[in-house]
Amino acid sequence: MILDMAIAPGEVTTSLIILVMVFIFVRVLGSKGRKQVSPPGPWSFPIIGNLLQLGDHPYLTFIEMRKKYGDVFLIKLGMVPVLVVNGMEMVKQVLLKNGEHFAGRPNMHTFSFLAEGKSLSFSVNYGESWKLHKKIASNALRTFSKAEAKSSTCSCLLEEHVTEEAAELVKVFAELTSKNGSFDPRNAITCAVANIVCALCFGKRYDHGDKEFLRIVKTNDDLLKASSAANPADFIPCFRCLPLKIINAPREFYRAFNQFVARHVQDHLTTYDKDHMRDITDALISTCHNKYATTKTATLNDDEIISTVNDVFGAGFETVSTCLYWSFLYLVFYPEIQTRIQEEIDGNIGLKSPRFEDRKVLPYTEAFINEIFRHASFIPFTIPHCTTADTTLNGYFIPRKTCTFINMYQVNHDETIWDNPSLFSPERFLNENKELNKSLVDKVLIFGMGIRKCLGEDIARNEVFIFIVTVLQQLKLEKCPGAKMDLKPTYGLAMKPTPYQLRAEPRSEAGTS
């Protein structure tokens, strides 16, 4: 009986072959049914992922990884998969062509405290409410930043505030040189630029020695020191419980910053007069309380107004002040470039107070500013993005809610775009007629692009221009004898140069208007 039930050896072999073939067939069908393969990337450690491999300058590490894995690759920060995007074409694909699918923000510990998570720049949620929020903020910024606003009832105009603060900065530089012989310009620059944002947002300026004002400026500076593109608390949740400064600093800094902004906004809500627009805060209140009052369209509540002002205030002076701090270093580092800019200023506007429209007649100065943006690349990454839906990039499948880093530094130093990218050369932005090459300017990444592009790009470019021209009209910036200077940055959310000292002497040979 037992022998009757046994299976012959040949039948066993045949059955195994059939099973193997069925298994292979199912796998082939399954692979065809899948969307696409995941991006390549380096091997990662358990728990910490690739955090230890990033080094002091992650944007440079990613450039090295790009040589092996291509423009699109996947790493792990902690246990979180992070898509890293390099190369202009892939960046355009992410931010422009497929922008809606990459328009989200990851839920990161570092930024969760900013305006209690309602920040326009850092908001995790992307949708119709966010789009309305952005439109309202853009309109308010436009109202107070365009020269044509002079014909309106607005009493707070960007151009006026910038020219006044730039003139004040010249005095401060001269006084510091007279008093100390040399000085680090960072605090003076930050205070001057922050005052412009205060004027735009709150209709007032502060004395450079005001204690509350200096505390907020320092708070922002400390926040940047504690923030980076790879804060471990953002990617390893258990780290948030540790008593480390890099983990807990953002909460303390954002709390003080939020309270400062909220106090001013609440004061505006109390004193608001629809017939007298004082600043951006009033413009936001007007838009929300009047324009949409009779419609069913969702609008901003008071907390969201505070968060919008928070965005304008925070972003409005960090990019500009950092750019100016780099600019004055480069002008001292390359005195021949400083001389050429001064000759252009003398020959075209003399000692006339510069205006935004003068950017058209000072192409070399504009080229210098763009080369600062490109060469220093002091904002190496965009604020991290996050996919809003399953999507594909460069043939790879990217799941929904994938954190995405855009390496703007790499694009700004890509040898396929820029000749000798390590060389600092403003001339690269001028065509054969010595005019600004706008198509090349558009390839510089510092403000991002697409849906999440920085709202304040035009404002920032205008401010930087006015400050540089005003200072170089009247002062000659000089290196301190024997002092060593280098252009190596200190990594952070916005990269700063190593602290340096300079002298600012009056220009006796300045042109006349």
Q: Domain spanning 35-506 has what CATH number?
A: 1.10.630.10
Is 125:131 a contact under the CB 8 Å cutoff? no
Distance in angstroms (rounded) separating the CA atoms of residues 325 and 473: 18
pLDDT tens over the chain, length 513 residues? 333 334 454 554 555 455 545 545 545 455 444 447 899 999 999 988 999 999 989 999 999 999 999 999 999 998 899 999 999 999 999 999 999 999 998 887 666 655 455 566 666 677 777 787 788 778 777 777 764 444 444 444 789 889 999 999 999 999 999 999 999 999 899 889 988 988 888 888 877 777 777 777 766 666 665 555 566 667 776 666 666 666 666 667 777 777 888 888 889 989 988 888 888 888 888 877 665 444 445 566 777 787 778 777 766 678 899 999 999 999 999 999 999 999 999 999 999 999 999 999 999 999 999 999 999 999 999 989 999 999 999 999 999 999 999 999 999 999 999 999 999 999 999 999 999 999 999 999 999 999 988 888 888 999 999 999 999 999 999 998 888 888 999 887 789 999 999 999 999 755 443
Is 404:85 a contact under the CB 8 Å cutoff? yes
pLDDT at 323: 96
Q: Cα 469 to chain center, whole Å? A: 24
Q: How many CB atoms lie within 10 A of CB 103?
A: 21
pLDDT at 278: 84
pLDDT at 123: 65
Signed CA dihedral, 481, 169, 475, 178: sign only? negative
**58: closest CA among 39, 77, 80, 81?**
77
**Domain ranges for the chain:** 35-506
Beta strands at 391-393 and 475-479: parallel, antiparallel or unpaired: unpaired
pTM, rounded to two decimals:
0.86
- HSE toward the beta carbon, residue 44, CA cutoff 13 A: 19
Residue 406: Cβ-neighbour burial (10 angstroms; 0-12, 13-18, 19+) = buried
- HSE toward the beta carbon, residue 260, CA cutoff 13 A: 23
* Cβ-proximal residues to 116 (8 Å cutoff; 6+ apart), any chain: 258, 303, 307
pLDDT at 203: 82
Q: Is 323 annotated among the ligand-binding residues?
A: no
